Structure formats: C-alpha cells, structure tokens
C-alpha cells in the first residue's frame, strides 16, 4: 500500500510527528498531503521559538488550537526589554522590524481560536495589556496564562484577569517588571482559586518616563536639603 492510500486519520497521526517546516514541505508534494496539512485537527498545538517563525506561514490557525507557546530566549530579547526612551537608533531599528509581530499574531488567535486553553509567552517584550485583554475576552475557555519577561505587561493585565478570566486556573507573571504587589493582591482577592506565580515581578524596578524620573530626583534633592 502506498502512503497516500492511508485514510485521513492515519495521515493526521503521521503528520503530527513532523515539525511545521516538514509538514509544509510534504504538503507540496500532492493534493492528498495538502488536505492533511490544511486539516484544523492537525493544529491543536503550536510552539514558536522566535517572532520570525510567526511569519513563515507553515501552520494553520483555527478553532482546533488549544495550546500555544511563543518563547524567545535569544540574547536579542534584552534589546526589546530596554525602555523605549533609552534605546539608541540601532536598537530602535531592530525593534521596529518585529514590534507588532506577536501582537498581530495574537489578534489573529483572538479571531480564529476561541477554544484556546493555554497560552505561554516568554521574552515577548512588545506584547501589550490591550492584546492580552482582547485574548481573555475572545478565548473564554483559557485555563492557563503564563507570561515571562514581558516588560509591557502591567497591572492592567491583572485587572483584565479579574474581569474576564473566569475559566483561568493558572496565572504566571514571572519577571514582568511593571507588575506591582497591589495588582497581585487584587488578583488573589478577586480570584482566590487561580494558582498565581509572580517570581520577582513585584520586586523589580518598574519603568518610569524621563519626566517622572526628574520629578523623583527633585523630590530627593529637597529631602536632602531639609
């Protein structure tokens, strides 16, 4: 028997062992394999290791997606984590190439993947509170939300969890430096059943705009004079 004579269920099982690039390459060989590649049941889990992978088009977003992970551990993540007003031209140019990539991808998830159960984001320095809020609204079955080293995430995301995270069971906001202890306490108060982890987040130095820093310096100077 030739492999193309196998039924859809068997082919889906075989395709499930392949990475995204291999699936796409195989789909180009015949119509039968293309049908398997385009079957939403093949795409219940997606893992990405950099924003660049989101642009490859070697995957399918659909209602079958339940588990999504975008984890970027490159040294280049440090550039994205620098406060915007402190970046030099080279750093700004680097960030501009992918600043909206993850946010735009997550908006697509909001529109096409209402059955998402788990989302993990690590090193995604440009992901915003607004994006997570929309995702919580459009994916009401979300049970696990893990955010690590996502510097633009603030207490607004924690507030969104208390309002729209009715199904949430696990929330991690590790090394998200703009999360505060007040925001964490609010989640514990409003959502006592949520397993909350915030390794070092509330104890890190938060971002502050230049004018705010100047005001703090002036206030400190006055105290010294007194």
Q: Over the Cα atoms of the chain, what is R_g?
A: 21
SS3 127: coil
User: What kind of fold does domain 1-42 have according to CATH?
Assistant: Monooxygenase (1.20.1280)
Tell me where in the chain the CATH 1.20.1280 domain(s) lie: 1-42
pLDDT tens column, 147-199? 999 999 999 999 999 999 999 999 999 999 999 999 999 999 999 999 999 98
We find that the CATH architecture of domain 43-221 is Alpha-Beta Horseshoe (3.80)
Distance between CA atoms of residues 26 and 6, nearest Å? 15
In this prediction the pTM is: 0.86
Whether residue 8 is predicted with pLDDT greater than 80 in this model: the reply is: yes
State the pLDDT at residue 206.
Answer: 83
Distance between CA atoms of residues 132 and 173, nearest Å? 12
Query: Mean pLDDT over residues 53-61, rounded?
Result: 94
Give 7-31 as a DSSP string.
Answer: -HHHHHHHHTTS-HHHHHHHHTS-H
State the pLDDT at residue 220.
Answer: 52
pLDDT tens column, 12-27? 999 999 999 999 999 9
Closest CA to 66 of 105, 112, 12, 15: 112
What are the tokens at 154?
A: 């603030």
Of 51 and 222, which is predicted with more confidence? 51
Tell me where in the chain the CATH 3.80.10 domain(s) lie: 43-221
Distance between CA atoms of residues 28 and 147, nearest Å? 36
């Amino acid at each position: 028997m030739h492999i193309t004579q196998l039924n859809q269920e068997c082919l889906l099982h075989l395709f499930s062992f392949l990475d995204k690039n291999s699936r796409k390459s195989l789909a180009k060989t015949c119509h039968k394999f293309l049908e398997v590649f385009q079957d939403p049941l093949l795409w219940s889990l997606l893992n990405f290791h950099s924003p660049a992978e989101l642009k490859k088009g070697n995957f399918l977003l659909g209602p079958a997606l339940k588990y999504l992970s975008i984890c970027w551990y490159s040294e280049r993540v440090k550039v994205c984590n620098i406060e915007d007003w402190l970046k030099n031209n080279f750093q700004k140019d680097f960030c501009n190439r992918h600043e909206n990539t993850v946010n735009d991808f997550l908006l697509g998830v909001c529109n096409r993947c209402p059955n998402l159960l788990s989302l993990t984001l690590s090193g995604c320095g440009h992901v915003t509170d607004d994006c997570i809020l929309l995702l919580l609204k459009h994916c009401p079955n979300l049970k696990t939300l893990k955010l690590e080293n996502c510097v633009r995430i603030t207490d607004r995301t924690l507030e969104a969890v208390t309002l729209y995270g009715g199904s949430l069971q696990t929330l991690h906001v590790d090394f998200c430096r703009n999360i505060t202890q007040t925001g964490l306490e609010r989640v514990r108060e409003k959502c006592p059943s949520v397993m909350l982890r915030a390794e070092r987040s509330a104890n890190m130095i938060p971002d502050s705009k230049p004018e705010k820093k100047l005001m703090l310096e002036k206030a400190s100077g006055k105290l010294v004079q007194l």
